[in-house]
Chain A
């Protein structure tokens, strides 16, 4: 570091009341590359110092009013004044002043008259020393800061005094306010009593054996806070093996530990119920199997699924559903723990887990008989059957339980869980609120249906359902006047799946209502969107399953959907099956009237397949009849079908109903229907079912049935 440094030359404040001396000093210093500022009195010097923050001050002692000593004392009290070197200028013969110079805090003194060369060199030397000191201070400050941020302190143990002393952070981590050498016993006193012995031993080994210390321990601050610290050290050993001192670090890792615990918890536990999660459960099963293999013992895995849990979620909301899961977990915990303690003689051990949704698993080890597992299963079903109090609601649920045992039912985790799952589905299929042991006779198709049911449960949430639309065309005008909304399931394995495949499963599992509702909502939303886009105003028809139709609040639900989607009811048509009309005629007729009162249209789907008669139809406020595709298919080859179709059209017109023929695929069929005044047709001849996007394109094209027929004819 030289004075020619490109940054900026060090600034010297020259303070002297004698202008000639100031001039001379300035000339000499300027010549040597310093920057100069002058002050001719002590007072002026203080102002200049605050303003300019010089690197060094050259200060004459003998000045009128405020002399150099007083100036020096005051300057030391200014911000930055304690770290700036101050050189006092004294007379050669003035020993008294030289002595005083140091007591007032001067860095050094110089004799007047000064030799310019010596002056310059002395200034350079002092500046260099001052810079070194400043760097040391800065470095210390950086170290302190780094230690504070890392909650890491360093310390040293002195063998002669048997005391520890350390950095600020060392004392802070210990929760000690003061910085003072700490006798080893006082240090140990900061350590949590249970950990004291191990710390003392570690220190003994370090002192006598020169061994490093590496400990995680708890400490207690004077204010009672507990912290976890990491203590590390190295011994400094003299020749001959005597430990002279030990230097080490202490780091507050409380927060780190909390994070580690949190991460561990998140990775291994279900945060809702605080039960182990799938990963931890698998680990536990693996361990149990390894033990069972060595000792020839049994292991049982249970799969528990709540019956109708989805309904709780839907009717009372997810929050209540979550509360239910928490309470179920709590009951499981108590039950398995109880059965564990009751049968302690048998050495049973239980682990529960939540795999997700309403699926729980239980692992039982150390059983001697499968009856033990059965006993636990019974207990679980019993405690579940008691009502749950969820806020203001009282809810009763049951569970279905499947049990698979090692070694009979599986050799590894996957096999056991799969078979417990199959057994659980079997229990569910058998009427729910039951447990079943896995058996190889549980057949594959039944299982597939159960898998399908499980997939269906998730399909709504996973947004796997989509609505397709098949246009209905007015026969006289050839224009699209309506469309039927058709459910499709975009299954992740099976692909786009039609309801034929899954509707019976959905029906058995009781999902159809919610699926119906969803389709209706979706169809209304889409219809509103099409109308808003200015596409032709068409009626959308939506199928209503028998089970939904029988719901007491059907009209209310539909009204709510109309309101929420902003759908104009005159564009909505609900398709009912013929079966509805036949069964429970009075109730059905009342429901139909309620629906009609909403302002929408009703149609009877698949007409002709049921046993409905004219008299049945009269009692129903319906608008449209849809002739089943079965009759249309063989229209040209089967005279009976042709006759029935003709009669149906005539009869419907008699009742002032519009008639729609479904499954129209050929121009011959169309010609027949046209001849017999069928009002509308639907079928491949005009268009297959289309996605909403494809339907939008079709509506934009505004194609006509006639052009379509011409094209086919040509």
Chain B
């Protein structure tokens, strides 16, 4: 009845290579392959899935970023949770660089300190703006 968790984990890992190292901010903020996969869920005649997802992201994440800003200097636990949340939301839109940065911040929070958190958060802010910009451009182009 149980599937083999390890082999599943492996296949997942190979299909969606997550980036453990910090990426250069110069690369494209969104992975087009991931976006294509989201588009593949689209049913004819229905509202755009990608548009809805993008909107959800743009609506729900500013609060998360704001929470992070408050926490990075003060609360390791909140930092960990909020970074995890932003990481999760971002990766499903193909924002690999942002997701990686979040992961770094999450690890710091998990270790129980906020040391070095602020500098990573400032990089996160920059990358987050890039991602949001790219998403807004996407919305312009995406059919209603």
Question: Which chain A residues have a beta carbon within 8 Å of chain B's beta carbons?
Answer: 17-21, 23-24, 27-28, 31, 62, 64, 91-93, 98, 107-116, 118, 122, 125-126, 129-130, 133
- A100 → chain B closest CB, angstroms: 12
- What are 8 contact pairs spanning A and B, CB under 8 A? A20-B57, A23-B56, A31-B43, A91-B84, A98-B9, A108-B2, A116-B40, A129-B1
In the assembled complex, the Cα of A107 lies from the Cα of B5 at a distance in Å of 11
**In the complex, chain A residues whose CB is within 8 Å of the CB of B1:** 107, 129-130, 133
B85 within 8 A of A: yes
Instruction: For B5, give its contact among A21, A109, A125 (CB under 8 Å).
Output: A109
Contact A116 B41 (CB under 8 A): yes
- B61 → chain A closest CB, angstroms: 8
Smallest CB-CB A-B distances: 10 pairs: A113-B91, A20-B89, A111-B12, A129-B1, A20-B56, A27-B41, A31-B41, A19-B60, A20-B57, A27-B49
Contact A122 B3 (CB under 8 A): yes
In the assembled complex, the Cα of A587 lies from the Cα of B118 at a distance in Å of 140
Contact B88 A125 (CB under 8 A): no
Contact B12 A21 (CB under 8 A): no
Contact B12 A23 (CB under 8 A): no
Nearest chain A residue, comparing its CB with the CB of B93: A20
Contact A24 B91 (CB under 8 A): no
- A85 → chain B closest CB, angstroms: 9
In the assembled complex, the Cα of A110 lies from the Cα of B16 at a distance in Å of 13
B144 within 8 A of A: no
B134 within 8 A of A: no
B8 within 8 A of A: yes
- A58 → chain B closest CB, angstroms: 14
Q: Quick one: which of B1-34 are within 8 Å of A by CB? A: 1-3, 5, 8-9, 11-13, 15-16, 18
**In the complex, chain B residues whose CB is within 8 Å of the CB of A31:** 41, 43
In the assembled complex, the Cα of A656 lies from the Cα of B5 at a distance in Å of 126
Q: Quick one: which of B87-103 are within 8 Å of A by CB? A: 88-89, 91-93, 103
Contact B57 A98 (CB under 8 A): no
- Number of A-B residue pairs having CB atoms within 8 Å of each other in the complex: 83
**In the complex, chain B residues whose CB is within 8 Å of the CB of A93:** 103
Contact A92 B88, CB 8 Å, known A20-B56, A107-B1:
no
Nearest chain B residue, comparing its CB with the CB of A29: B41
Contact A92 B2 (CB under 8 A): no
- A75 → chain B closest CB, angstroms: 18
Contact B60 A24 (CB under 8 A): no
Contact A64 B92 (CB under 8 A): no
Nearest chain B residue, comparing its CB with the CB of A85: B1
- B77 → chain A closest CB, angstroms: 11
In the assembled complex, the Cα of A114 lies from the Cα of B92 at a distance in Å of 8
Contact A64 B81, CB 8 Å, known A20-B93, A23-B56, A24-B92:
yes
**In the complex, chain A residues whose CB is within 8 Å of the CB of B49:** 27
In the assembled complex, the Cα of A371 lies from the Cα of B9 at a distance in Å of 105
Chain B positions 29 through 73: 1 when the CB is less than 8 Å from some CB of chain A, otherwise 0: 000000001101101000001001100110010000000000000
Contact B5 A98 (CB under 8 A): yes
Instruction: For B88, give its contact among A108, A113, A129 (CB under 8 Å).
Output: A113
Contact A23 B52 (CB under 8 A): yes
Q: Quick one: which of B72-88 are within 8 Å of A by CB? A: 81, 84-85, 88
| Sample of 15 further A-B pairs with CB below 8 A, known A20-B53, A20-B57, A116-B41 | A19-B56, A20-B93, A27-B53, A92-B12, A93-B103, A98-B9, A113-B88, A114-B12, A115-B12, A118-B8, A118-B11, A118-B15, A122-B8, A126-B3, A133-B1
**In the complex, chain A residues whose CB is within 8 Å of the CB of B60:** 18-20
Contact A24 B38 (CB under 8 A): yes
In the assembled complex, the Cα of A425 lies from the Cα of B9 at a distance in Å of 104
In the assembled complex, the Cα of A31 lies from the Cα of B103 at a distance in Å of 30
Contact A113 B8, CB 8 Å, known A24-B38, A133-B1:
no
- What does DSSP make chain B's interface, helix, strand, loop or mixed? helix
In the assembled complex, the Cα of A130 lies from the Cα of B3 at a distance in Å of 12
Contact A23 B53, CB 8 Å, known A107-B2, A118-B11:
yes
- B122 → chain A closest CB, angstroms: 23
**In the complex, chain B residues whose CB is within 8 Å of the CB of A109:** 5
Nearest chain A residue, comparing its CB with the CB of B52: A23
Which of A20, A27, A93 gathers the greatest number of chain B CB atoms within 10 Å? A20
Nearest chain B residue, comparing its CB with the CB of A64: B81
**In the complex, chain A residues whose CB is within 8 Å of the CB of B37:** 115-116
- A20 → chain B closest CB, angstroms: 5
Which of B57, B84, B88 gathers the greatest number of chain A CB atoms within 10 Å? B88
- B96 → chain A closest CB, angstroms: 10
Contact A21 B88, CB 8 Å, known A64-B81, A122-B3:
yes
In the assembled complex, the Cα of A93 lies from the Cα of B84 at a distance in Å of 12
Nearest chain A residue, comparing its CB with the CB of B54: A20
In the assembled complex, the Cα of A130 lies from the Cα of B16 at a distance in Å of 28
In the assembled complex, the Cα of A91 lies from the Cα of B11 at a distance in Å of 14
Nearest chain A residue, comparing its CB with the CB of B107: A93
Contact B85 A17 (CB under 8 A): yes
In the assembled complex, the Cα of A508 lies from the Cα of B49 at a distance in Å of 112
Contact B3 A108 (CB under 8 A): yes
- A4 → chain B closest CB, angstroms: 15
**In the complex, chain A residues whose CB is within 8 Å of the CB of B8:** 110-111, 118, 122
Contact B9 A125 (CB under 8 A): no
- B72 → chain A closest CB, angstroms: 18
- B97 → chain A closest CB, angstroms: 14
Nearest chain B residue, comparing its CB with the CB of A119: B12
- A132 → chain B closest CB, angstroms: 8
- B40 → chain A closest CB, angstroms: 8
- B60 → chain A closest CB, angstroms: 5
**In the complex, chain A residues whose CB is within 8 Å of the CB of B13:** 92, 111
Nearest chain B residue, comparing its CB with the CB of A60: B88
In the assembled complex, the Cα of A278 lies from the Cα of B91 at a distance in Å of 95
Contact A111 B9, CB 8 Å, known A20-B60, A116-B41:
yes
In the assembled complex, the Cα of A21 lies from the Cα of B81 at a distance in Å of 15
- B1 → chain A closest CB, angstroms: 5
In the assembled complex, the Cα of A18 lies from the Cα of B91 at a distance in Å of 12
In the assembled complex, the Cα of A24 lies from the Cα of B41 at a distance in Å of 9
**In the complex, chain A residues whose CB is within 8 Å of the CB of B41:** 27-28, 31, 116
Nearest chain A residue, comparing its CB with the CB of B86: A18
In the assembled complex, the Cα of A30 lies from the Cα of B16 at a distance in Å of 22
Contact B9 A115 (CB under 8 A): no
Nearest chain A residue, comparing its CB with the CB of B43: A31
In the assembled complex, the Cα of A93 lies from the Cα of B91 at a distance in Å of 14
**In the complex, chain A residues whose CB is within 8 Å of the CB of B2:** 107-108
Nearest chain B residue, comparing its CB with the CB of A99: B5
Contact B16 A115 (CB under 8 A): yes
**In the complex, chain B residues whose CB is within 8 Å of the CB of A111:** 8-9, 12-13
In the assembled complex, the Cα of A7 lies from the Cα of B13 at a distance in Å of 36
In the assembled complex, the Cα of A91 lies from the Cα of B80 at a distance in Å of 13
**In the complex, chain B residues whose CB is within 8 Å of the CB of A110:** 8, 12
